[in-house]
Amino acid sequence: MVLCGEGPSWCAGVDVGEHRPEMVAEMMGAFNGIFETMEKMEVPLIAAVHGPCLGGGMELAIACDIIVASSKATFGQPEIRLGFFPPYAAIRLPQLVGTARTIEICATGKIYSADEAKALGLISQVAGEEAFGEAVESVAGSLLLSSPLIIRLNKRAVKGHIGMAFPQALAKVTDLFLNRLMKTEDTLEGINSFCEKRKPDWKNR
């Protein structure tokens, strides 16, 4: 799934007016519902960021699995300058860039260029404005070469064990590999297609 934005910004964030005490709980509930839905998505989520991606907008982008950015894109969590902190970013950013970088991003409110964001490890790829659409299609197209079922299992293997102790995580991912992956038709098809020197014919089962 590719998430795109309309207009000059990809998403400039939540309306500051909705942070008023009488409205903020409802706003947070709605926003958290988006993240909960995104977290349940089994398919890879690609954020195709073409312009400013700030505040709650950046939180939406980092909730995706892959970010492809135009060279014109910018990223930042400027809420601190209005007396807020970004709740979801406080959870997600340490997984992407570590604790120190997270505190820097959230506590300074700095706006980062696409190249700076890539250097931080926030985004996967930066493309020039004219090549941006092609870059997004290339990333999505590379996913379409593989079995949809195995792509979903791969995402489960990566995200399902974050924060677990190593022995428990290793046991869980080994169980997923042996008792789920190796019993799919598509894994057997992948092995057979390699041995027979042909393209695989995925069945998604």
Torsion of CA 99, 46, 191, 193, to 10 degrees: -150
pTM > 0.85: yes
For position 113, what pLDDT does the model report? 96
Residue 6's nearest CA partner among 71, 72, 50, 61 is 50
For position 82, what pLDDT does the model report? 85
Torsion of CA 59, 104, 132, 48, to 10 degrees: -10
Q: Cα–Cα distance between 186 and 150 in angstroms, integer?
A: 7
* Phi–psi pair at 112, nearest 5 degrees: -105, 140
Q: Cα–Cα distance between 161 and 167 in angstroms, integer?
A: 11
| C-beta separation of 96 from 122 below 8 A | yes
For strand 111-113 and strand 74-76, is the pairing parallel, antiparallel, or unpaired? antiparallel
| Sole residue written with tokens 């404005």 | 129
For position 12, what pLDDT does the model report? 82
143: exposed, middle or buried (C-beta count within 10 Å: 0-12, 13-18, 19+)?
Answer: middle
Task: Give the SS3 label for residue 2.
Answer: strand
For position 129, what pLDDT does the model report? 86
| C-beta separation of 190 from 149 below 8 A | no
For position 16, what pLDDT does the model report? 66
Task: Give the SS3 label for residue 161.
Answer: coil
pLDDT mean values, one per 10 residues, the chain (205 residues): 92 71 80 91 95 94 96 94 89 93 95 95 91 93 94 93 91 94 94 94 93
- The residues annotated as belonging to the active site are 59, 79
